[in-house]
Amino acid sequence: MTSSTHSSVNNLQTSETSQPILDIQSLVVEYPTKEGNIRAVDNVSLQIYPGEVLGLVGESGCGKSTLGFAILRLLKGGFIKQGAIQFNDKDLATISEEEMKSIRGSEISMIFQASQNALNPLQRVRGHFIDTLKYNDLDPEKDFYRVEETLERLDIPLHRIQDYPFQFSGGMQQRIVIALALLLRPKVIIADEPTTALDVLVQARILQLLRELKEEFDLTMILISHDLGVVAETANRIAIMYAGQIVEIGDAKTVFENAAHPYTQGLLKAIPNIKEKEKKKMEAIPGTPPDLRNPPSGCRFASRCPIAIKECKIAAPMLLKIGTHHGQDHFVRCLQYEDEYKTKF
Ligand SMILES: Nc1ncnc2c1ncn2[C@@H]1O[C@H](COP(=O)(O)OP(=O)(O)OP(=O)(O)O)[C@@H](O)[C@H]1O
Ligand SMILES: [Mg+2]
């Protein structure tokens, strides 16, 4: 971990000392299809504390983006079936669309996955900023200083906003997308795979930029990635998601160095070791996640788990607290930690 991670961890209020800024309770999100509903988020409860970076990690299709979209009520083709998303004194799951609009962008905003595609190729960059001001009922002329200030902070020369998105490099396009997300100085940023499409060096620079912006603007961040390595240096807490559920959550150092769930342990093995890149072949976890239309009744990871016993296919594990480290509770969803089954492993 870098020293900047440590300083932000030190400044942080822990789960023991502060109220969450976002409190997600028993959230269920489904996408109806002809073959039945896909339950992409299944009973997720998650608290996000002021000033923290929560890393949300899991394989493709486990429901990370769906959770992000649900918070901002930007679900396409899906709906919140159950649960609450408490933000200040409001439940984002039930407030009116008008109220939601006053929160989107100005209080909570999202850096969208594959953001390069999120920029309209036929619209000059300037137009994207003007649209964002208008969406938030601001005046494109009187409030244009916000665009100037934000561009300056992100080292995007003002004159370049006359250009089209394709005229920028990948890293620069990503900075434009971050500038758009920060334009209204929101308190919470949901960064959905903010570096995935970029090469390794640009990736590191964007992550560094996000860490700096977090400190400067006092942001709270949900950092979504399929790559545990990407969030390790930036997040202070990490939540691991598998097949619509949280299977492990705890402070980043603990999840990284003492992963308790066999799935997290598998993800860690899949991180390429830069020093030994040539020698060591990356170990991906064999098998595929279950169908979210009809998930198995026992542990969802059982069919891929190297230590599963026969009970794992029958009994659904609970999310159980197994310790507290650096002021953060460590939870895991695996039968090997439950009193009733412990001795069988
Ligand atoms: N509009 C949709 N209609 C039907 N199913 C959907 C829709 N959007 C997502 N899904 C399904 O919901 C599940 C969760 O998808 P989601 O995009 O949230 O996963 P993710 O963790 O963000 O994956 P990735 O790492 O690939 O971005 C997947 O099974 C996906 O196929
Ligand atoms: Mg996604």
What is the domain partition of the chain in residue ranges? 3-107+186-344, 122-179
CA-CA distances (angstroms) from residue 223 to 19, 147, 193, 257? Answer: 20, 24, 7, 19
Q: How far is the CA of 63 from the centre of ligand 2 (A)?
A: 7
Q: Which of 66, 67, 71 to mutate to test the pocket of ligand 1 (most atoms within 8 A of CB)?
A: 66
Q: How far is the CA of 64 from the centre of ligand 2 (A)?
A: 6
Chosen CATH of 3-107+186-344 out of 3.40.50.720, 2.10.109.10, 3.40.50.2300, 3.40.50.300: 3.40.50.300
Q: Which of 31, 80, 246 to mutate to test the pocket of ligand 1 (most atoms within 8 A of CB)?
A: 31
CA-CA distances (angstroms) from residue 170 to 46, 92, 177, 198? Answer: 32, 33, 11, 7
Closest ligand to Cα 241 = 1
Residue 280's pLDDT is 53
Residue 75 CA, closest ligand 1 atom number: 1
Q: How far is the CA of 163 from the centre of ligand 2 (A)?
A: 28
3-class state of residue 56 by DSSP = strand
Residue 14's pLDDT is 53
Q: What is the pLDDT of residues 95-104, one digit of tens each?
A: 999 999 999 9
| pTM of the predicted model over 0.85 | yes
Residue 41 CA, closest ligand 1 atom number: 14
Residue 6's pLDDT is 39
Q: Which of 30, 33, 38 to mutate to test the pocket of ligand 1 (most atoms within 8 A of CB)?
A: 38
Q: How far is the CA of 193 from the centre of ligand 2 (A)?
A: 7
Residue 48's nearest CA partner among 79, 4, 14 is 14
Residue 105's nearest CA partner among 163, 189, 43 is 189
Q: Count of H helices and E strands in the chain?
A: 11, 12
Residue 62 CA, closest ligand 1 atom number: 21
| Residues lower than pLDDT 70 in the chain | 1-17, 115-116, 272-282
